[in-house]
Amino acid sequence: MSWIALWDKKHALFDPNGLARPRGAPTEAIADPQPLSNTTLPRGSLVVETRVSPYDRPQTLLGMASQTGSGFRLSLQAVPGGGVVLVLNRGGRTAHVAVNLDTGGRADVLRVTYSWDLSANVGRLAVEQPGTWRVELRTLVRPVALTPAEIRECVQDDEARVLSSDLSFIAVSNRIEPIGPMPSLSEETPVMTAQGYRKVGTLKRGDVVQTPSGDLVPVLANIRRTVPATGHFAPIKLRAPFFGLSRDIVTSPTQRLMIGGSRVEYMFGSEFVLVPAGHLLHGNAATPGGEAPLVTYCQLLLPNHEAILAADTYVESMDVGRMRRRRDLLSASLLSGYPRRLLPEHARTAFPVLREFDALTLAAQRAA
């Protein structure tokens, strides 16, 4: 079990037994007929994704005052420049932590993850820009945890909470959720191997995949994670035959396609360009990829940060950069169990990443 609550513009879901349900099950709010426990979850994570106001003043992202009589209060604020401040109160106890993220002058979207582990008496606040290497985290001692009743209030009770209009989603898990690089391909995505196309979800360490040079390179690991199907995790269906796809594939918005050809060189002065899938939603090359509350992605870790052939189009593999040099981030990531000495270092890509307008223009011209 992992995700137990989700709020976004379409859903207000809570189930203490987990949100994972068979495909096709209804996604309306779940009524819990049993009284909820007032005991705090021993471990958990509160994940918030939001757009950040361009105004030069603090912005309340989420405020909450429990109506259950527990005295629980929560305040999450964004401050100019990429900073985030979290304050939690329960009775006489207060937990306060702030993170200042270097956004490089831009802070369009931030993902904030507050996690706690009462057995270790430690908590963590992480702030990151999805799809980038900008991430910062801070630890705190004696964290304040949430109860199931408070979690349900957070996602379903309008009287107990205040939400920013810029908020994309709130999700709660009963686990310590990882941060940093995330997988971004659906498990069904066909990837070229020595045996021909295979579903990426079936590949494992030691299998080989094809790169743009034509070489077959070994898979070091297949990274998998189930996440809320919303915000920068929302599945996107990339439509064939755009960008040379031989069939539709489903990815997250942060997955990037590596596109080349004479038209690319003429328009952008580069042999290849990188096209984020999320940039294509306002054109004809992509559509939303599903309505289920959760989605599972996977991604391949290769010795070098190379692209892989998927449905006749090259897509980026997992980029871990120089993460092994950041012990704090490595231990909080999906690769925390991977031997540090064996973790590759990936060089920064030399290819330009297209803006949304350029990506849509390129898609339209290649389809013409």
Nearest to 234 by CA among 171, 289, 275: 289
pLDDT digit string, tens, across residues 227-260: 999 999 999 999 999 999 999 999 999 999 999 9
Question: How confident is residue 10, by pLDDT bands cut at 50, 70 and 90?
Answer: confident
pLDDT over 70 (residue 216): yes
DSSP code for 264: H
pLDDT digits (tens, 9 = 90+) for 47-92: 999 988 766 778 899 999 998 888 899 999 988 777 899 999 998 8
Q: What is the pLDDT of residue 26?
A: 47
> pTM of the predicted model, to two decimals?
0.91
Answer for the pair 104, 143: CB distance below 8 angstroms, yes or no. no
pLDDT at residue 101 is higher than 90: no
Mean pLDDT of 191-214: 95
**How many CA atoms lie within 13 Å of 125's alpha carbon, on the beta-carbon side?**
22
Q: Give pLDDT tens digits for 158-190.
A: 999 999 999 999 999 999 999 999 999 999 999
Q: How confident is the model over 313-343, as pLDDT tens digits?
A: 999 999 999 999 999 999 999 999 888 888 9
Percent of the chain with pLDDT over 90: 70
DSSP 161-199: EEE-TTEEEEEEESS----SS---EETT-EEEETTEEEE
Does 30 score more than 60 pLDDT?
no
